[in-house]
Amino acid sequence: MITAEQTYLRSELEQRRKRLHAALHSPAADASLSQLLAAVDTALSQIDQGTFGICEECHESIEAERLLVDPLVRFCLDHLSNAEQRALESDLSLAARIQRALLPKISLAPAGWNVRYHYQPAGMVSGDYCDLLETEAGLLFMLGDVSGKGVAASMLMSHLHATIRSLAEAALPLDRMVEDANRIFCESTLAGQYATLVIGRAACDGSVEFVSAGHLPVLHIHSDGATPKDSTGVPLGMFCSTRFPVHRLTLAQGDTLFLYTDGLTESRNSAGQEYGLQRIRAFAARHTGIEPDGLISKCLEDMLSFGEGSKQTDDLTLLAVRRAN
């Protein structure tokens, strides 16, 4: 049975085949184009025969995210040649540097607010999204999580980063910004690719508005404890046309909004228990009035203590936005 991903890849391969045919008729055509054409024909034949995406060495499935990046991949990660492994490591290192460059400056000090974040990929690249941007209307803060892992997820994250940055320059209302970002993301990705996202705007007077597209509850940490604010819509990319209601609240001096990805809530200890939403809410309620850098440090300590040395299996990002005293 041909999957939706294979239908997409067939279309991509057929387009490449047409371009290769055209290029081969050029007087300056290189001999390597014939080899590429043969590889494309083989991949198309494998889709028809139901053998596409099978490693030629171990006959197990090749990683789906790698096929989406390069549908001519013939071997799974465990059976790459030494040269291919070195090339992949080099590509991942470059992708990691590019992702790091997209992160907001640690020294950012918006008027009226103290902000800190912690970004910790599980591998070399991450599908987590974090950004901070100062605008005339106030501080724009974003945190999200793209479906999938590895290079494919990191590419989608970069796409989302560029989309939000472009829309932010237009100074749109928050709900309109998310609706436009959702439409763009939906129209430029495959079915099954989506992103959860919190995007908010914090003004100097303490007023905050935010949209949560299917993300984990935002925690409003105040003097009486921690109050969760649930999502206001579905993840980006699920439906091309949908609305995203806006949460509005006013933070008192010393109040904090705490955002996190599922690398925190789904982290497990040696017994297989998840950290979970209740634990993060209880943690936040015990740390009211603390500065963002201290809050994040304490959270990481609590997570490590809970995990009992368990290996990190998912990307982790934390963001604390506190109204200054």
Question: DSSP states of 115-155 as a string?
Answer: EEEEEE-SSSS--EEEEEEEETTEEEEEEEEESS-HHHHHH
Query: For domain 4-80, is the CATH number 1.20.120.910?
Result: yes
Give the per-residue pLDDT at 1: 54
The CATH H-level (homologous superfamily) assignment of domain 104-323 is PPM-type phosphatase domain (3.60.40.10)
Give residue-wise pLDDT tens across range 88-114: 777 777 777 777 877 888 888 888 999
145 CB contacts (<8 Å, ≥6 apart)? 127, 128, 129, 195, 196, 215, 261, 262, 315, 317
Predicted confidence band of residue 40 (pLDDT cuts 50, 70, 90): very high
Average pLDDT rounded to a whole number, residues 151-164 = 84
Q: Which residues pair with 208 in a beta bridge?
A: 202, 249
**φ, ψ for residue 144, nearest 5 deg:** -155, 180
**Mean pLDDT value across residues 271-290:** 94
Please state which of the ranges 71-75, 197-201, 221-225, 254-258 shows the lowest mean pLDDT. 71-75
pLDDT of residue 25: 82
Is the confidence at residue 149, as pLDDT, over 80?
A: no
Q: With CA atoms as reference, report the closest residue to 213 among 191, 190, 194.
A: 194
Lowest mean pLDDT among 188-192, 215-219, 299-303: 188-192
Segments making up each domain of the chain, as ranges: 4-80, 104-323
User: Which residues partner with 21 through β-bridges?
Assistant: none
Under 8 Å between Cβ of 114 and 290: no
Mean pLDDT of the chain: 89
Say which residue, 152 or 282, is predicted with more confidence: 282
Residue 248: is its pLDDT beyond 80? yes
pLDDT at res. 211: 96
